[in-house]
Structure 1
Amino acid sequence: MAKDIYHKTVKTALIKDGWTITDDPLRLKFGGRMTYVDLGAEKLLAAEKQGQRIAIEIKSFLNPSPIKDLEQALGQYILYSQVLETLKLNYQLYLAIPQKVFSDFLSEELPQLIINLNSLKLFTFHPEREEVIQWIN
């Protein structure tokens, strides 16, 4: 399986933020099918902190069209959140986004509408410092 360009960066950022990585990737089996969040060369991480469990879908937004990246991220988020809920796995799903992508694109009106209407949970990270910048619920 190919890993997202920021896979190691996000993993390091979560560890620095006090999380313990429990699954890399988090495998979700439903109806005889297995999903790994590898549809766009991405991985799902699972982590725990003070009894909280999160699943992370890492999105790079490197496509020439950020709208296409948003469409893919939204589809994956909906798929994984619904499978997690159906399996009663008690994980909160987050999209991990580089801080620059959030400030340059995801803070615009259309992406904000999509984020709000779909109650997407995000966290931003600084790729060079390998640090979590902001949790957005």
Structure 2
Amino acid sequence: MPAKDIFHNAIKSALIKDGWQITDDPLFIKASTRISLYIDIGGKRAIGAEKEGKKIAVEIKSFLGMSPLAEFHTALGQFLNYVLALRINQPERVLYLAITEDTYRDFFSDPFIQLSVSTYQVKLLIFNPSEEIIVLWSD
């Protein structure tokens, strides 16, 4: 079983505070006969949640490494593959990339990153890890 991201418990708590029911922790997806995903990498973890009939999957990324751009490349590749896997097996789920508000302000405010997020339709869930609250849903 993959290890939890440093912010796993904070985002899980924030989702619960926001009225979401956690349904899968982690969310397992069988993309094909040979490919199975936990919607995680490098110790990151995904959460499946449901609220008022809406189902989501959340991939948590800390962006605490030496190169935020390298981490973004990895996160974007994962996001695109996870969207495809969900489309095949759980098309009712919407995937969100969860990042801290500091990461959103300091890195995702860059025009190139904003263009990438817009072009590839990356949905963001911005949260405050110390207060364990969701600050913004960006569709």
What is the Cα deviation at residue 63 of structure 1? 1.3
Aligned residue in 1 for 2:134:
132
Could you tell me the TM-score, scaled by structure 1's length?
0.96
Aligned to 1:117: 119
Q: Please, what TM-score do these two structures have when normalized by structure 2?
A: 0.95
Equivalent residues of 1:2, 1:38 under 8 A apart: no
Q: How many residues align?
A: 137
Question: CA deviation digits over 1:46-72, x for unaligned, max 9?
Answer: 000111000000010011111011101
Q: Tell me the alpha carbon deviations over residues 36-92 of structure 1, each in whole angstroms, 9 at most, x when there is no partner.
A: 123121111000011100000001001111101110110110010001002243100
- Code of the residue aligned with 2:26 in structure 1: it is P
Counterpart of 2:16 in structure 1 is: 15
Q: Which runs of 5+ in 2 are unaligned?
A: none
Aligned partners of 2:41, 2:10: CA distance in 1, in Å?
A: 19
* Structure-2 separation of matches of 1:49 and 1:107: 29
- The answer (yes or no) to whether the contact 2:40–2:59 under 8 Å persists in 1 is no
Counterpart in the other structure of 1:80: 82
Aligned to 1:106: 108
Task: Pick from 64, 67, 79 the counterpart of residue 65 of structure 1.
Answer: 67
Q: Which residue of 2 aligns with 1:6?
A: 7
SS in 2 for 1:53: strand
The answer as to 2:58 corresponding to 1:56 is yes
Gaps of 5+ in 1: none
Query: Which SS does the other structure have where 2:126 is aligned?
Result: strand
Segment drifting more, 62-71 vs 33-42:
33-42
Tell me which moved more, 26-35 or 40-49: 26-35
The amino acid of 1:76's aligned partner reads Q
- Cα RMSD, aligned residues only: 0.9
Q: % of aligned pairs identical?
A: 43
Residue 28 (1) aligns with residue 29 (2)? yes
Structure 1 position 110, deviation (Å): 1.2
> Does the alignment pair 1:41 with 2:43?
yes
